[in-house]
Amino acid sequence: MTVAFADRPARGRAKRPGPAPVIGQRVKVLGIQTACVAVLLAAWQLAVVSGAVPESEVTQPTAVAHRLWDMLATQEFWSAVGETAHTWVIGLLVSLVVAVPLGLLLGASTLLYRMFRVTIDFLRTIPPVVLLPLALLLYGAREQTALLLVAFGSVWPLLLQTMYGVHQVDPVSRDVARAYQLRRLDFVRSVLLPSAAPFVATGVRIAATMSLLLVVGSELLGGIPGIGAQIAVDQTSAAQIPSMYAYVVVATALGVAVNLLIVRLERRVLSWHSAHKSQQEA
Amino acid sequence: MAFGSQVTTRGLTRRSAALALELVVPAAIVVAWWLASSGSTSLYFPPLSKIVSAFRQIWLFSHVGPDAGPSLEHLAAGYLLASVSGVVVGVAIGLLPSVGEALAPILEALRAVPALALVPAAVLILGIGPSMQIGVIVSAAVWPVLLNTADGVRGIDPQVNDVARSYRIGWRDRLLRMVLRAASPQIVAGMRTALSIAVVMIVFSEMVGSTNGIGYQLLQSQRAFDIPGMWSAMILLGILGYLLNILFRGFERGVLAWHRGMRGASD
């Protein structure tokens, strides 16, 4: 029976900042981590060089790094990265603007929530890539195609997290607001939004990962300029296989960077919030 | 007796009223779609009646065997493989915090790989066919399960371990009844994320590198300008996604029944 309660309090404890770890220990951990990465890369290198994995299929890491270094100097590379990043950011912003007000509304009204529950449930389970052929017909190999996909894919986690956040508003604050006859707009601004904010932030994190996946995917299949299209083009010629892997590495680096950025931003902006420990996955 | 029957009828009306409330918007959307598209001459938005008849022609049931069957089979194989390996490795990492710490950068990077970008590489390595599709599903869906499992196992109250040790509970019981159980809310949450990723991966991999499957049908009908056929594949995938979600919710309810009970029926 105790087991049932085990995960919650323990999680809270794990998250609490303990005494700052000794610097020496941190260096040691960093050393071990670097060693692990090095071993992994060496194994990859060895697998290709020894011929266990044919070089026509997998490029060894040194060659990928070399190619990546060369690519950094090209205009083509930076414009591809720029296109992908642009689509991604715009797509996320569009879904934020659509999802958060809707989420506040649906979260605050039980009637509306119940009316739209089935529809939302249905729409959010549609795999977003399903829209790709239709979007390609409508917009062709242009940014709008990817935007449509990204918006459709990331609007649902944001909407659900916002609704969830509204449901989590402290009943006491709600009563206080009522007792002081707070005006509706003030209530939204000073009670609803702040308490929903960390949940929206979690939604942004989930949506950001999803969006990057969808941007790269629609570029890949639709030939829309960006990292994905470069991967698709490079795949077709043997000499360009290292570039293909280099672009995969770049896309991954983009994903890691954004994850770190969002987590840091969240920590800074929401450090005041008691519910900031929330880690719900949508 | 009269009173009792009155109560049940009232309960019944209330329940059907609630159901009607939930279904009125979806019904209105379908009706609006039907009416708005009925005279449509637009190439890309054909009348819903045409889509429905295409759906009947294609998916009831001539293409179920050759296309829907393989899709579901590969999805199931990839998803199960991802879930099982995610849980196994996740438990290992969760039980050995130092290993988890050492591997953290690698896991963090692998999780961030936009898996769709790996599909061309997977086609090169594994060729076109089921093994490629299953491979890309696993490569994408394993991470949420693995990381959530590790997180859940790591979060188990140390006291639980002490109690288990002092009662001399064997490692097998400890693993199956304690560790897995205590981590199950997180494992299930990871599996839910993994399921939607897996569906995206199967559809995409069928579009890029396959000669059958629903995703293949979807892209083929778009390329052949068979627009009602394209819409019917989209609708089928939508329904499939929804059904998988309902199935998963049932699974979740079964696995986590004890957990919901402990936390009260509120959520």
Are residues A129 and B120, on separate chains, in Cβ contact within 8 Å? no
Q: Do A248 and B230 touch (CB under 8 A)?
A: no
Please tell me the distance in Å from B151's CA to the nearest CA on chain A. 9
pTM: 0.83
DSSP for B151-212 reads HHHHTS-HHHHHHHHHTT--HHHIIIIIIHHHHHHHHHHHHHHHHHHHHHHHHHHHHHS-SS
**How many C-beta atoms surround the C-beta of residue A267 within 10 A?**
11
Residue A14, SS3 per DSSP: helix
Q: Which residue of A has its CA nearest to B174?
A: A3
- Structure-model confidence comparison of residues A219 and A3, the more confident one: A219
Lookup: tokens for A28: 């040691």
pLDDT at A168: 80
Nearest Cα of chain A lies from the Cα of B80 at a distance, in angstroms, of 19
Compare CB distances from A256 to B25, B112, B221 and report the shortest one's residue: B112
| Domain boundaries defined on chain A | 60-281
- pLDDT of amino acid A8: 41
Tokens of A126: 């549609």
- Report residue B97 as tokens: 């915090």
Query: Chain A residues with CB inside 8 Å of B112's CB?
Result: 209, 252, 255-256, 259
Inter-chain Cβ pairs, chain A and chain B, closer than 8 A: 199
> Closest residue of B to A221, CA-based?
B208
Crossing angle of helices B180-208 and B119-126, rounded to 10°: 80
- Dist CA B232 CA A232 (whole Å): 28
pLDDT, residue A117, reads: 85
Cβ pair A207, A63 in contact under 8 A = no
- What are the structure tokens assigned to B213, written together? 């499957």
A41: closest CA of chain B, how far (Å): 11
Say if residues A10 and B155 touch (Cβ distance below 8 Å). Answer: yes
d(CA A144, CA A136): 9
Per-domain residue ranges of chain B: 1-37, 46-266
Residue A276: exposure state from Cβ atoms within 10 A (0-12, 13-18, ≥19): middle
Q: How close A90 gets to chain B, by Cα (Å)?
A: 18
The model's pLDDT over A166-196, given as tens digits with 9 standing for 90+, comes to 888 878 887 888 888 878 788 877 788 888 8
The CATH architecture of the domain made up of B46-266 is Orthogonal Bundle (1.10)
- Do A64 and A234 form a contact (C-beta atoms < 8 A)? no
**Chain B residues whose beta carbon lies within 8 Å of the beta carbon of residue A2:** 157, 159-160, 163
- Residue B223 half-sphere exposure toward CB, CA atoms < 13 A: 9
Across the interface, do B120 and A232 touch by the CB < 8 Å criterion? yes
A60-281, what's its fold? MetI-like fold (1.10.3720)
Which of these, A269, A248, A249, A145, lies nearest to A204 by C-alpha position?
A269
Instruction: List, as ranges, residues 205-244 from B with C-beta within 8 Å of A.
Output: 207-208, 215, 218-219, 221-222, 227, 230-231, 233-234, 237-238, 241-242, 244
| Residue B58: predicted pLDDT | 80
Residues A107-121, buried b or exposed e (16+ Cβ, 10 A)? bbeeeebebbebebb
Q: Which residues of B247-261 are buried (b: 16+ CB within 10 A; e: fewer)?
A: ebeeebeeebeebee
10-residue mean pLDDT series, chain B (267 residues): 56 80 86 84 83 83 78 93 95 89 88 88 87 92 92 83 81 81 88 91 88 87 87 90 91 82 53
pLDDT at B263: 60
Among residues A276, A110, A267, A261, the alpha carbon closest in space to that of A194 is found at A276
Nearest beta carbon to residue A212 from set B114, B154, B159: B114
Q: Which residue of B has its CA nearest to A118?
A: B22
CB A156 within 8 A of CB A123: yes
> Are the C-beta atoms of residues B235 and B246 closer than 8 Å to each other?
no
Do the Cβ atoms of A208 and A157 come closer than 8 Å? no
Q: Assess B267–A contact: CB distance below 8 Å, yes or no.
A: no
Instruction: Assess contact for B175 and A3: CB atoms under 8 A.
Output: no
Q: In chain A, which residue's Cα lies nearest the Cα of B145?
A: A281
When pLDDT is averaged across residues A102-129 and rounded to a whole number, the result is 87
B97 touches chain A (CB under 8 A): no
C-alpha distance from A91 to closest chain B C-alpha (Å): 16
Please tell me which residue of chain B has the smallest CA distance to A167.
B267
